[in-house]
């Protein structure tokens, strides 16, 4: 591949939009051609600058102020669930036929909540990356192409691991998982 060929493909290469053969060719060319490598580096710098500025601008947006503005215009009176419950309880129209079960239910919920809370571990340790990797390695394959004779996709439920097995042998041949 010459510089003339490569220069038109560099933006597409940078965006990862070329097919695998062209990606390979441009990648190989850029490792040997200083001009094209510089051009790619410039594209990376531009992307990074744009990304940095956009992210900084997003960070500066104060969404809290936005919500405060909306909240002020809502103009509704909020009554907490606790106030509503107290008002309901003190209305006096409900007999003990209703109050007693309600009280029992609240007590049961509180007791169970307390039991669950006391049985919870004090803190949950964060597993490290290796442990997490062991937990669920199942990948979803959105597209798959190959110049090989056969590609087998194996999703093993036991280890929750996905394997792409490329083989020049027919599927099920030697080594296929």
Partner 1 sequence: MTGVSGSTLSAFVALFGMQCVALAAESPPEAVATPAANAVEVRIGAVLASNSSQDFDARLASMHRQFNTLFPYTSYRLVKEERQRVPWGGKVGFDIPGGRYVMVIPREYKNDRVSMRVMVIEGARPIVDTAVSLRDHATFLVGGPRQHEGVLILSIGADTLP
Contact 154, 177 (CB under 8 A): yes
By the rule CB under 8 A, 48 interacts with partner 1 = yes
162 - beta bridge partners?
A: 155
User: Which residue, 94, 33, 19, is CA-closest to 7?
Assistant: 33
User: Near partner 1 by CB under 8 A, which window of 4-12, 71-79, 80-88, 104-112?
Assistant: 104-112
**Residue 169 DSSP one-character state:** S
By the rule CB under 8 A, 104 interacts with partner 1 = yes
**Dihedral sign, Cα of residue 51, residue 54, residue 56, residue 62:** negative
Cα 53 to Cα 41, 43, 48, 58, 163, distances in angstroms: 18, 15, 9, 9, 39
Q: Please give the backbone phi and psi of residue 167, each rounded to the nearest 5 degrees, phi first.
A: -145, 140
Q: Which of 11, 101, 170, 171 binds partner 1 (CB under 8 A)?
A: 101
Q: Which of 56, 90, 143, 172 binds partner 1 (CB under 8 A)?
A: 143
Contact 164, 153 (CB under 8 A): yes
Our CB check for partner 1 shows the closer of 75 and 175 to be 175
User: Near partner 1 by CB under 8 A, which window of 3-11, 17-25, 69-77, 82-90?
Assistant: 17-25
By the rule CB under 8 A, 93 interacts with partner 1 = no
Minimum distance, C-beta of residue 122 to partner 1, in the bound complex (Å): 18
Give the three-class secondary structure for 124. coil
Window 61-80: residues binding partner 1 (CB under 8 A): none
User: Interface with partner 1 by CB under 8 A: which residues?
Assistant: 15-16, 19-21, 23-24, 27, 44, 47-48, 51, 55, 96-97, 100-109, 112-113, 116, 129-134, 136-148, 151, 154, 156, 158-159, 161-168, 175-177
């Amino acid at each position: 591949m010459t510089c003339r060929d490569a220069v038109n493909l560099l933006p597409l290469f940078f965006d990862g939009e070329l097919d695998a053969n062209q990606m390979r060719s441009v990648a190989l060319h850029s490792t040997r051609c200083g001009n094209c490598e510089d051009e790619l580096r410039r594209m990376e710098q531009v992307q990074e600058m744009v990304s940095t500025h956009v992210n900084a601008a997003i960070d500066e947006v104060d969404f809290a102020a936005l919500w405060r503005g909306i909240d002020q215009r809502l103009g509704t009176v909020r009554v907490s669930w606790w106030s509503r419950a107290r008002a309901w309880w003190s209305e006096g129209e409900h007999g003990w036929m209703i109050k007693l079960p309600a009280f029992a239910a609240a007590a049961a919920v509180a007791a169970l909540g307390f039991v669950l809370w006391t049985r919870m571990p004090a803190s949950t340790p964060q597993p490290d990356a290796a442990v997490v990797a062991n937990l669920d390695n199942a990948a979803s394959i959105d597209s798959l192409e190959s110049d090989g004779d056969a590609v087998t996709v194996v999703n093993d439920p036991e280890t929750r691991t996905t394997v792409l097995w490329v083989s020049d042998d027919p599927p099920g041949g030697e080594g296929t998982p």
